[in-house]
Amino acid sequence: MKPKEPITIWCLHGAVGMAADWQEFSQLATSLGYQVRAVDLWRFLDCCPKSLQEVGCALNAEVAACPGKHVIIGYSLGGRIALHALIDSPALWSAAVVISAHPGLATEAERGMRRATDAEWSTKALRDSWQNFINEWSSQIILKPAHTEHTNWLDKNLLVMRRKEIARSFIDWSLGAQSNLLALLPSISCPVAWFTGEYDTKFTDIARTTVPYIPQGSLQVIESAGHRVPWDQPAVFSQLVADFLATQVK
């Protein structure tokens, strides 16, 4: 009897995030028999600038060297990188989960405004006191936990050693530096589960416009969750992903 191929889940964190953000999900997925690789996205900026497209290609090269089937999960910034990876090499991926992501702004005027905003964040990440930067970043309304008991940010002070890469990411990986991907999404051939939180009406509206472009895309809006779906509703999120993979990846 032919042995079952291993299934590896590649988890991509968000902006000002880290691989350890996926710790709780990784424990559950591992208990279900999946291999999990939580990716430190900052290492892609260790040596030099890289665009989102280049990061997607670099990630795909690593994945292609690993045996078995592959699933990509990306949150917010990680979701945008996931889309680039899926577009670059559709046949490499058996399934994908995209959370609270943006396919790209429609006009150059919008992109220019976003680049200016992200340039300010870049300066703060590089030059402000790290604690002040983290406090200001975490206090954004979109990142507020959906429930007062869910304040489970990991200690972002651990990221101070990555401040140069994080500052660089606000330039290289700005939404304003990204092309609009809508016309390319039909090339994604694997099943894609797209999640948003019910309180995150902005990204839910974006998802409702975006998901129809993906041939095997489906949208699920998670109750009592905001932008940070996997951390606002960790048990619900993990179960939905497990159910999705059980039916879509054999």
The helix (H) or strand (E) run that includes residue 75 is strand 69-75
Q: Is 143 exposed, middle or buried (0-12, 13-18, 19+ CB in 10 A)?
A: middle
Q: Residue 14 has what pLDDT?
A: 96
Report whether 60 contacts 86 (CB < 8 A): no
- Quick: pLDDT tens for 144-194: 877 655 444 556 778 999 999 999 999 999 999 999 999 999 999 999 999
Q: Residue 145 has what pLDDT?
A: 79
Q: Is the Cα torsion angle 174, 176, 179, 182 positive or negative in sign?
A: positive
Average pLDDT, the chain: 94
- Quick: pLDDT tens for 212-245: 999 999 999 999 999 999 999 999 999 999 999 9
- Quick: pLDDT tens for 106-157: 999 999 999 999 999 999 999 999 999 998 998 999 988 776 554 445 567 7
| Residues paired with residue 25 on neighbouring β-strands, in sequence order | none
Q: Residue 161 has what pLDDT?
A: 93
- Quick: pLDDT tens for 70-81: 999 999 999 999
- Quick: pLDDT tens for 40-72: 999 999 999 999 999 999 999 999 999 999 999
Domains and CATH numbers, the chain: 7-105+179-248 (3.40.50.1820)
Task: Write down the H helix ranges in 139-227.
Answer: 163-172, 201-210
Amino acid residing at 84: H
Report whether 195 contacts 240 (CB < 8 A): yes
